[in-house]
């Protein structure tokens, strides 16, 4: 059995860890609330860009590759969004697992774009070649970051390096649950290859968008500018949801880490008390034994 001193040392270290976890949890909780507010504030923009995209696309006859695809898909590009830092439970691994599955489905030569240090190191470790990496922004992303990633993706499509572009990220549902989803970004017109449920909503209000818009100068011209912006916006939304999910996941992970550490400290304290009790009993027995021995002499 471990000595009392060792146990004491262990208990102290576990209690310290518990304090660190609990502090991290508090920090994450604050960040989580901020990030959640940002997602809410950003929603009108994303919703409207998406709606405009549908309205303009419905009225144009243009059959550009961006809209209808190139017919044959030789290679796809996949952008995976993870966090820079760990300590957030299964948050990153579920996105990365989903990515690997998608790579299996779409061909292993898929161009991989990585956002977040965790995905960069994961792909390096797995020997997946990274087409481009973006790091240092996942804690509190800026629109500028989404622009960079979005541009890269649009560019890969335009340069015919990729014939389809997918985004894999954590859809934020609550602090407890983040669901990894795949969203097809390009081409726009789609047979729904992704598993993002938001597409259902699009169908609901399709009837309402029957207003005859006038397009200045032309639907094609607007579309040409709108598509890259749409890609950026989808990345932006995903980055925001990702960062909210990250803080939420870390909050939950740190909560259970704190609980576990406290439980461990309690168990160790119990052990230490038992050990101390045993030691006292032992000492008493020795004394009693000693006096008895003396008396019998």
**Which residues of this chain interact with another protein, rule CB under 8 A?**
38, 41-42, 44-46, 48-49, 52, 55-56, 143, 146, 151, 211-217, 219, 221-222, 225-226, 229, 233, 236
34 forms bridges with which residues in the sheet?
none
Tell me the C-alpha distance between 182 and 184, whole Å: 7
* Chain-centre distance for alpha carbon 243: 7
Residue closer to another protein (CB basis): 79 or 265: 79
Residue closer to another protein (CB basis): 110 or 219: 219
Measured from the CB of residue 111, what is the shortest distance to another protein in angstroms? Answer: 17
Q: Is the peptide bond before 211 cis (omega within 30 degrees of 0)?
A: no
Measured from the CB of residue 239, what is the shortest distance to another protein in angstroms? Answer: 10
Measured from the CB of residue 73, what is the shortest distance to another protein in angstroms? Answer: 24
Measured from the CB of residue 132, what is the shortest distance to another protein in angstroms? Answer: 12
Neighbours of 40 (CB within 10 A): 11
Contact 278, 17 (CB under 8 A): no
Measured from the CB of residue 45, what is the shortest distance to another protein in angstroms? Answer: 5
Residue closer to another protein (CB basis): 140 or 271: 140
Residue closer to another protein (CB basis): 93 or 140: 140
Residue closer to another protein (CB basis): 213 or 256: 213
User: Taking the CA atoms of the chain, what radius of gyration do you get in angstroms?
Assistant: 28
The sign of the torsion formed by the CA atoms of 37, 40, 41, 42 equals positive
Beta-carbon contacts of 39 under 8 Å, excluding residues fewer than 6 positions away, are: 172, 237, 240, 241, 244
Neighbours of 3 (CB within 10 A): 11
């Amino acid at each position: 059995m471990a000595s009392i001193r060792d146990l004491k040392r262990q208990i102290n270290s576990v209690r310290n860890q518990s304090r660190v976890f609990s502090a991290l949890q508090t920090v994450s909780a604050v960040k989580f609330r901020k990030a959640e507010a940002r997602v809410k504030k950003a929603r009108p923009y994303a919703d409207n860009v998406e709606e405009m995209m549908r309205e303009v696309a419905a009225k144009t006859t243009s059959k550009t590759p961006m809209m209808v695809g190139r017919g044959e898909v030789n290679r796809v590009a996949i952008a995976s969004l993870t966090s820079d830092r760990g300590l957030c439970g299964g948050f990153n691994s579920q996105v990365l697992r989903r990515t690997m599955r998608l790579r299996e489905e779409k061909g292993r030569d898929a161009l991989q774009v990585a956002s977040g240090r965790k995905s960069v190191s994961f792909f390096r470790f797995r020997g997946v070649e990274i087409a481009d990496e973006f790091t240092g922004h996942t804690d509190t992303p800026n629109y500028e970051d989404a622009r960079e990633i979005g541009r890269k993706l649009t560019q890969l499509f335009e340069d015919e390096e990729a014939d389809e572009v997918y985004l894999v990220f954590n859809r934020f549902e609550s602090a407890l649950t983040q669901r990894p989803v795949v969203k097809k970004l390009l081409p726009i017109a789609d047979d729904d290859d992704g598993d993002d449920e938001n597409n259902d909503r699009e169908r609901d209000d399709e009837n309402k968008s029957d207003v005859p818009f006038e397009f200045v100068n032309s639907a094609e011209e607007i579309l040409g500018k709108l598509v890259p912006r749409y890609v950026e916006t989808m990345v932006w939304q995903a980055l925001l949801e990702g960062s909210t999910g990250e803080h939420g996941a870390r909050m939950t992970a740190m909560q259970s880490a704190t609980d576990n550490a406290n439980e461990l400290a309690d168990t160790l304290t119990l052990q230490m008390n038992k050990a101390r009790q045993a030691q006292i009993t032992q000492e008493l027995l020795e004394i009693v034994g000693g006096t008895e021995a003396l008396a019998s002499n």
